[in-house]
Amino acid sequence: MNMDIAQAPAPPAATAVGDVGLNIGIFLAFVAVTLVFVYRASRTNKTASDYYAAGRAFTGPQNGVAIAGDYLSAASFLGIAGAIALNGYDGFLYSIGFLVAWLVALLLVAELLRNTGKFTMGDVLAFRMRQRPVRAAAATSTLVVSFFYLLAQMAGAGGLIALLLQIPTSNRVGQGAVIAIVGILMIVYVLVGGMKGTTYVQIIKAVLLIIGAAVMTVWVLGIAGFNLSALLGDAAAASPKGDAVLAPGLQYTNPIDLVSLGLALVLGTAGLPHILMRFYTVPSSKEARRSVVWAIWLIGLFYLFTLVLGYGAAALLPPGTITSATQNNAAPLLAYQLGGEVLLGIISAVAFATILAVVAGLTITASASFAHDVYASVIKRGQASPDAEVRVARITALVIGVVAIIGGIIANGQNIAFLVALAFAVAASANLPTILYSLFWKKFNTTGALFSIYGGLAICIILIVFSPAVSGKPVNAATGRSASMLQGVDFHWFPLDNPGLVSIPASFLLGVIGTYIGGRRPVEEGKFAEMEVRSLTGAGSEKAIAH
Partner 1 sequence: MSTTGERSTGTVYEQVQASPEFADLRRRLRRFVFPMSVAFLAWYLAYVLLASYAPGFMAIKVLGNINIGLIIGLLQFVSTFAITTIYVRYANKHLDPAAEKIRQQIEGAE
The residues of the shown chain that bind partner 1, judged by CB under 8 A, are 47-49, 89, 92-93, 96-97, 99-100, 102-104, 106-108, 227-230, 232-233, 236, 243, 246-249, 252, 255-256, 258-259, 262-263, 266, 286, 289, 292-293, 296-297, 300, 303-304, 525-527, 529-530, 532-534, 536-540, 542-543, 545
Distance CA 82, CA 88 (A): 9
Question: Which of 340-344's residues contact partners 24+ apart within 8 Å by CB, and which partners?
Answer: 341/17, 341/18, 341/19, 341/22, 342/22, 343/216, 344/17, 344/18, 344/23, 344/163
Q: How far is the CB of 105 from partner 1 (least distance, A)?
A: 11
- Closer to partner 1 at the Cβ: 103 or 223? 103
- Closer to partner 1 at the Cβ: 341 or 530? 530
Spell out the residues 6+ positions from residue 28 whose beta carbon is closer than 8 angstroms to its own. none
Distance CA 448, CA 10 (A): 59
- Closer to partner 1 at the Cβ: 118 or 391? 118
> Do residues 408 and 179 lie in contact, with contact meaning Cβ atoms separated by under 8 Å?
yes
Q: How far is the CB of 517 from partner 1 (least distance, A)?
A: 26
- Closer to partner 1 at the Cβ: 8 or 266? 266
Q: How far is the CB of 30 from partner 1 (least distance, A)?
A: 30
> Do residues 444 and 437 lie in contact, with contact meaning Cβ atoms separated by under 8 Å?
yes
Distance CA 187, CA 167 (A): 23
- Closer to partner 1 at the Cβ: 97 or 212? 97
Give the Å distances, CA to CA, from 301 to 85, 203, 415, 460. 18, 16, 24, 32
- Closer to partner 1 at the Cβ: 46 or 172? 46
Spell out the residues 6+ positions from residue 80 whose beta carbon is closer than 8 angstroms to its own. 91, 92, 94, 95, 303, 306, 310, 417
Q: Identify which of 81, 101, 319, 315 has the alpha carbon closest to the alpha carbon of residue 212.
A: 81
Q: How far is the CB of 28 from partner 1 (least distance, A)?
A: 36
Q: How far is the CB of 533 from partner 1 (least distance, A)?
A: 5
Distance CA 4, CA 169 (A): 12
User: SS3 for 263?
Assistant: helix
Q: How far is the CB of 47 from partner 1 (least distance, A)?
A: 7
- Closer to partner 1 at the Cβ: 458 or 509? 509
Q: How far is the CB of 7 from partner 1 (least distance, A)?
A: 30
Distance CA 201, CA 191 (A): 13
Determine the length of the chain: 547
Give the Å distances, CA to CA, from 519 to 296, 432, 446, 531. 39, 21, 9, 19
- Closer to partner 1 at the Cβ: 228 or 462? 228
Q: How far is the CB of 424 from partner 1 (least distance, A)?
A: 14
Distance CA 461, CA 422 (A): 9
- Closer to partner 1 at the Cβ: 233 or 318? 233
Q: How far is the CB of 96 from partner 1 (least distance, A)?
A: 5
Q: How far is the CB of 172 from partner 1 (least distance, A)?
A: 38
- Cβ-in-10-Å burial (0-12, 13-18, 19+) of 521 comes to exposed
- Closer to partner 1 at the Cβ: 19 or 532? 532
Distance CA 422, CA 514 (A): 25
- Closer to partner 1 at the Cβ: 300 or 320? 300
Integer Rg of the chain from CA: 23
Distance CA 129, CA 520 (A): 14
Q: How far is the CB of 405 from partner 1 (least distance, A)?
A: 34
